[in-house]
Structure 1
Amino acid sequence: MSADHTVNHNVRLLSWFNFFGDFRLYGPIMVIYFAQVTGSYTAAASLLAVKMLSSAAFEVPAGVLSDRLGRRGTMIAGAVVMVAAHLGYAGAPGYGLLLAAVVLEGLATALWSGNNESLLYDTLLEAGREEEFPRHSGRVNSMFQLALALAAPLGGVIAGLWSLRAVVVLSVLPQVLCLLVALRVREPRVRGPLAPNALAHLGSALRGIRGNPVLRRMTLVSALRYSGESAAQLSPAFVAGLWPLWALGLWRTFGHGVAFAGFRVSGWVIGRVGAARTLLFAELFDHVANFVALIKPTVFSPVLLGSPLYGMSATAQQTLLQREFTDRERATMGSLASLLGSVLYALVALGAGLLADRWGIVVALLGIQAVVLIALPLAWWQARSGLGG
């Protein structure tokens, strides 16, 4: 198979993989299902915390595994583990099996985290078409948002007609399809000579980040932006004060739809103004929109809240990172960035919870925005330097 044919083959499969991977009918009711099985919302919340912690714990080892053993094998391993996790969710009689399942999901998430973007970039690099990364990345990742937009309302309908467990059982099928898709992916071969062992490989990746000022800056931008996603936990409480409860599902679907559109056009935008300028503009627009929504709440505030230009900024960020990652440590460097993001996410989420208890939901959301705002001058510095533009 020619390199160009491999590009078309892998891009198409990655798109379907992302769609099936996030087509989780239980998304809006996961906490409710956990509470129903365990009999406690405290237990349910602890399961969500364990899932995040397990993903963070496995992040760097998974990146090293991807770099040393290959993208396709790591992708398949993650799909197998994710199927096992969903079977655990579907059949769990109590807390114990749910706990094992969330740990497995954390492992699967880590296996895919640095690996799948690296698979896409390496596939393009092998064909000498790496400059097309923004266009293909935007289209591939738009499928996440399409899946979320379709699955959320459908899951609610199924839960109303049958049961919460029926929703979770049906969610196993898309994960099986993910595995079947992963088995058809072709392995790109562009990595350089490997370090003698895993620790040496990790040390080389750390030195690569430390010695590259652009990569240091972009790694911090990535982590700060990810920490801002903790606002998704609190935003529904803000929206519920402005819109009726029945409209919250529509609000989520609207947000995913806007993100889908942003991903689809991101390659076109980046091709004309550059990745660094796209990131700067998207970050600036999102901050202004959020501050307007929060400082003077109106019935239109939920439309502005969140990240209206998330698709464009996420694609621009990945483009800038992938250009700086080294070929042989690409996934490990991506996993290190994700690990830093997970740590900041946990700290910001905890701080926002404390602010919400003491001063209310608006202050908590403004606090999150203040932390993420640190990324703005870093993005401006990147755009001003002309690097990655």
Structure 2
Amino acid sequence: MSARRPSLLRARILGKRLIAAPLAAEPAAHTVSRNVRLLGWFNFCGDFRMYGPIMVIYFAQVTGSYTAAASLLAVKMLASAAFEVPTGVLSDRLGRRGTMIAGAVVMVTAHLGYAGAPGYGLLLAAVVLEGLATALWSGNNESLLYDTLLEAGREDEFPRHSGRVSSMFQIALALAAAVGGVVAGAWSPRAVVVLSVLPQVLCVLVALRVREPRVHGPLESGALVHLGSALRGIRRDPVLRRMTLVSALRYSSESAARLSPVFVAGLWPLWALGLWRTFGHGVAFAGFRVSGRVIGRLGAARTLLLGELFDSVVNFIALVKPTVVSPVLLGSPAYGISTVAQQTLLQRGFTDRERATMGSLAALLGSVLYALVALGAGLAADRWGIVAALLAIQAVVLIALPLAWWVHTHTAA
């Protein structure tokens, strides 16, 4: 397709703008500012979980077994995957704000279960609830941001606002890890979990202040019809179909995060692992913050392609010839920029009426691939070592490069 001709995807986006015209310029502008600010704080509070670095240790203390602790993490992932599609349909049918509030309330309940759990049973119920809450937010919160901008006719600003909102995840993770370590050392792991309930309560209060964007009216079709429409929408749009696969492959690569500390521990002292995590979150934070400007210059498709190519090269260098510098390179230096570019392309392709459902379908595929890649990497680590396992994960991610190249050549931005 010629670069001078507007793509079908772009033409459809321009058509959507007519549907989502704001009722008044000033109220719409105020809504954008309000929702963007609240989403940022919601992300910060939601990920300010001080128990993050010691979660497995805490679960093992409560259950008396590391095997039981690991099984709880697996159940949480499975629960999130199981609830993905139903919660996406719920968001499209009942609204973004209500789904966001419901997720926040469920997350508070889950954390109360963690804090008061005397044994495995209550922890099991709590991880299922956390999986449900995660699924309620997955697909919904990005849709809330895009719909807010669409209502004001400002959807072209999505990369900038998405980067700013998502950067709050990273700064929360970095700060929570540092504070949690101090609290755990001064008191106990359970004290860290108890204190982590408060930020989740703040999430509920923040969500209550969010305004529901008015992009489309209530849906008349049944839930199954709605789901079928979303599936057909992804299948029939070649750009969206490939972007869904890219999204799933990128998410599967995050399984490397659970194995990477083993590699880093062989090169750096154990006390430096916390600094390594903080550095990674800091790089991701910076990437999210500048993503809007980068995408504005290069376009979303080109940014995604270059970001994935860059990460593949630096990870290969870090793993093939390990040195003391390798931990700095390992991971995804372009994660923040690539993620915003990916979300921009997905949100442009999603339809207004099935936006959250389509996002949940993409997340479900990502969860399935994550489980398969994590299992395969674990087997590779046991048989050939940690470097082979991490290289295997990188090999899976390489599949996304030709898909991203195709999207780059078939979209205008």
Pair 1:14 & 2:39 matched: yes
Contact persistence 1:320–1:388 (CA under 8 A): no
What is the match of residue 29 of structure 1?
A: 54
Pair 1:121 & 2:177 matched: no
What is the match of residue 190 of structure 2?
A: 165
- How far apart, CA to CA, are the structure 2 residues paired with 1:382 and 1:388? 9
- SS of 1:2 mapped into structure 2: helix
Deviation for aligned residue 1:154: 1.1
- After TM superposition, the structure 1 = structure 2 runs for residues 220-369 of structure 1, keeping only pairs within 5 Å, are 220-369=245-394
Cα 1:252–1:31 change in 2 (3 A) is same
Amino acid of the residue matched to residue 35 of structure 2?
N
Runs of 5+ consecutive residues of structure 1 not aligned to the other structure: none
- How far apart, CA to CA, are the structure 2 residues paired with 1:359 and 1:365? 11
Amino acid of the residue matched to residue 238 of structure 2?
P
How many pairs were matched up? 388
TM-score under structure 1 length normalisation: 0.99
**TM-superposition CA deviations, 1:241-265 (whole Å, max 9, x none):** 0000000000000000000000000
Deviation for aligned residue 1:196: 1.6
- How far apart, CA to CA, are the structure 2 residues paired with 1:262 and 1:148? 15
Deviation for aligned residue 1:382: 1.1
- How far apart, CA to CA, are the structure 2 residues paired with 1:259 and 1:193? 37
TM-score under structure 2 length normalisation: 0.93
- SS of 2:345 mapped into structure 1: helix
Pair 1:373 & 2:361 matched: no
**TM-superposition CA deviations, 1:309-332 (whole Å, max 9, x none):** 100000000000000000000000
Contact persistence 1:192–1:327 (CA under 8 A): no
- How far apart, CA to CA, are the structure 1 residues paired with 2:406 and 2:108? 43
> For 2:224, which of 180, 192, 199 is the aligned residue?
199
Cα 1:322–1:388 change in 2 (3 A) is farther
- How far apart, CA to CA, are the structure 2 residues paired with 1:388 and 1:198? 34
Deviation for aligned residue 1:384: 1.9
Contact persistence 1:227–1:346 (CA under 8 A): yes
Pair 1:75 & 2:76 matched: no
**RMSD of the alignment, in Å?**
0.8
- How far apart, CA to CA, are the structure 1 residues paired with 2:98 and 2:299? 33
**TM-superposition CA deviations, 1:114-163 (whole Å, max 9, x none):** 00000000000000000000000000000000000111111011100100
- SS of 2:59 mapped into structure 1: helix
- How far apart, CA to CA, are the structure 2 residues paired with 1:384 and 1:210? 19
- SS of 1:328 mapped into structure 2: coil
Provide the identity percentage. 86
**TM-superposition CA deviations, 1:66-116 (whole Å, max 9, x none):** 000000000000000000000000000000000000000000000000000
Cα 1:7–1:111 change in 2 (3 A) is same
Deviation for aligned residue 1:194: 2.2
Amino acid of the residue matched to residue 355 of structure 2?
R
Out of 250-259 and 149-158, give the one that drifted further: 149-158
- How far apart, CA to CA, are the structure 2 residues paired with 1:10 and 1:158? 33
Amino acid of the residue matched to residue 389 of structure 2?
A
Contact persistence 2:93–2:218 (CA under 8 A): no
- SS of 1:326 mapped into structure 2: coil
- How far apart, CA to CA, are the structure 2 residues paired with 1:149 and 1:267? 22
- SS of 2:281 mapped into structure 1: helix
Runs ≥4 in structure 1, deviation > 6 angstroms?
A: none
**TM-superposition CA deviations, 1:283-342 (whole Å, max 9, x none):** 000000100000000000000000001000000000000000000000000000000000
- How far apart, CA to CA, are the structure 2 residues paired with 1:195 and 1:213? 27
Amino acid of the residue matched to residue 153 of structure 2?
G
Amino acid of the residue matched to residue 204 of structure 2?
L
Contact persistence 1:135–1:266 (CA under 8 A): yes
Contact persistence 1:48–1:102 (CA under 8 A): yes
- How far apart, CA to CA, are the structure 1 residues paired with 2:138 and 2:409? 29
- SS of 1:303 mapped into structure 2: helix
Amino acid of the residue matched to residue 277 of structure 1?
R
- How far apart, CA to CA, are the structure 1 residues paired with 2:82 and 2:412? 31
- How far apart, CA to CA, are the structure 1 residues paired with 2:161 and 2:119? 42
- How far apart, CA to CA, are the structure 2 residues paired with 1:105 and 1:302? 31
